[in-house]
């Protein structure tokens, strides 16, 4: 590839520290399937960050895998999951959730976020055994459209779920970018306290692959490893996931990488703003959705790769620009210089 890419946050390999630790520990013999000392240590570090010893932590290889395992481990066959129409599980997982047997009840949102009101509409509609029974609320933070939940929003949603016996699950593929956003007021501890289960995304924040599923609700902990095994998620060399999370969580690297990605995204966002462009959703994380004239898009596309997200009108489209832990500041500056 010749053009520099702002298409996504998984274009490069892993943060070099991860490769270094993989290399340094390479010949140490461990037992397999996630019970090795590295995975154990990684779990301990994450529990410390969450400030709660009473959670269970398991590693999966990617977001779709984490989602399908979590959801199928919790829901009974007639239960459904409530999600935004823009949710990753609804749009971009090739029917993974339905393939494990569950309907997704979707809700139109204005910003990719669910609220008690939106969820209430769904549960009020489902009244008897001729319909599915909604039992889980799925949200992403940051969302698929780059927005984030405030502590107030998440607290209200959490309380609503508890009151209505709905499990609350956060897809944290880009949790790091959310928690290091300038606009964020949530901590990892809050996330853990306000949800039943969530995952901490590694793949999009410096790992080769890997997501850490955190189970807060005791009810959901039993026999979870059976689900991992049955869905093909229990890696023989589980150390691969353990070592990566251990490295990311040892010296706060995980949050530093996301902060760096957000910072560069903000630079680009500010550049677009200074030229008067608006956005599909207000920039908050490492994903930007500026609305640009097609001419400018064509100009930028000559040197840069990025997705055209949606057509806005005859002459404008929204595009998606993503920065990552690996984005180089030089490239950001050069890109900004092209914005007219």
- Residues 90-149 contacting a second copy, CB under 8 A: 91-96, 98-104, 129-133
Instruction: Give the count of residues interacting with a second copy (CB under 8 A).
Output: 78
Each residue 47-66 as x (binds a second copy by CB under 8 A) or -, in order, gives -------------xxxxxxx
Give strand pairing partners of 292: 317
Q: Please state, in angstroms and rounded to a whole number, the distance separating the CA atoms of residues 327 and 204.
A: 12
Confirm or reject binding of residue 209 to a second copy (CB under 8 A): yes
Stretch that binds a second copy, among 12-20, 177-185, 279-287, 309-317 (CB under 8 A): 12-20
211 versus 259: smaller Cβ distance to a second copy: 211
Residues 268-327 that bind a second copy (CB under 8 A): 326
Cβ contacts of residue 327 below 8 Å, gap of 6+? 6, 260, 261, 264
Q: Out of 47, 71, 73, 284, name the contact with a second copy by CB under 8 A.
A: 73
Give strand pairing partners of 317: 292, 311
For residue 161, the minimal CB distance to a second copy (Å) is: 19
Residues 233-252 that bind a second copy (CB under 8 A): 233-237, 239-240
Helix (H) / strand (E) element for 197: namely strand 197-201
Nearest partner of 104 among 128, 129, 126, 84, judged by Cα: 84
Stretch that binds a second copy, among 89-97, 142-150, 269-277, 291-299 (CB under 8 A): 89-97
Q: Please state, in angstroms and rounded to a whole number, the distance separating the CA atoms of residues 191 and 180.
A: 13
65 versus 109: smaller Cβ distance to a second copy: 65
Confirm or reject binding of residue 26 to a second copy (CB under 8 A): yes
The alpha carbon of 299 is separated from its chain's Cα centroid by a whole number of angstroms, namely 31
Residue 4 has a CB neighbour count (10 Å cut-off) of 18
What is the DSSP secondary structure assignment for residue 279, as one 8-state letter?
B
For residue 144, the minimal CB distance to a second copy (Å) is: 12
Nearest partner of 168 among 211, 119, 102, judged by Cα: 119
């Amino acid at each position: 590839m010749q053009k520099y890419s702002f298409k996504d946050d998984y274009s490069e390999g892993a943060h070099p520290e991860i490769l270094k630790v993989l290399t340094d520990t390479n010949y140490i013999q461990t037992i397999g399937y996630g019970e090795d000392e590295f995975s154990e240590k990684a779990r301990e570090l994450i529990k410390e960050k969450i400030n709660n010893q009473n959670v269970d932590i398991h590693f999966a290889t990617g977001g779709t895998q984490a989602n399908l395992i979590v959801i199928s481990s919790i829901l009974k066959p007639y239960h459904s999951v409530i999600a935004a129409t823009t949710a990753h599980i609804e749009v971009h997982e090739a029917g993974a959730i339905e393939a494990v047997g569950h309907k997704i009840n979707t809700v139109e949102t204005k910003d990719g976020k669910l609220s008690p009101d939106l969820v209430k509409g769904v549960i009020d509609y489902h009244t008897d055994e001729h319909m599915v029974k909604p039992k889980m609320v799925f949200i992403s933070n940051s969302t698929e459209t780059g927005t984030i939940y405030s502590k107030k929003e998440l607290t209200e949603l959490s309380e609503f779920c508890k009151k209505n016996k709905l499990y609350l699950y956060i897809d944290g593929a880009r949790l790091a970018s959310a928690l290091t956003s300038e606009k964020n007021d949530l901590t990892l501890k809050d996330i853990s306290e306000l949800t039943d289960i969530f995952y901490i995304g590694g793949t999009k924040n410096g790992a080769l692959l890997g997501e850490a599923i955190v189970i807060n609700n005791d009810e959901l902990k039993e026999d979870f490893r059976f689900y991992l095994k049955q869905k093909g998620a229990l890696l023989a060399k589980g150390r691969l996931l353990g070592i990566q999370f251990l490295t990311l969580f040892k010296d706060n690297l995980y949050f530093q990488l996301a902060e760096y990605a957000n910072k560069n995204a903000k630079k680009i966002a500010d550049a677009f703003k200074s030229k008067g462009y608006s956005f599909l959703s207000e920039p908050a994380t490492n994903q930007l959705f500026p609305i640009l004239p097609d001419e400018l898009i064509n100009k930028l596309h000559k040197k840069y790769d990025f997705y055209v997200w949606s057509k806005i009108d005859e002459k404008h489209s929204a595009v998606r620009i993503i920065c990552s832990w690996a984005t180089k500041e030089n490239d950001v500056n050069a890109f900004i210089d092209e914005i007219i």
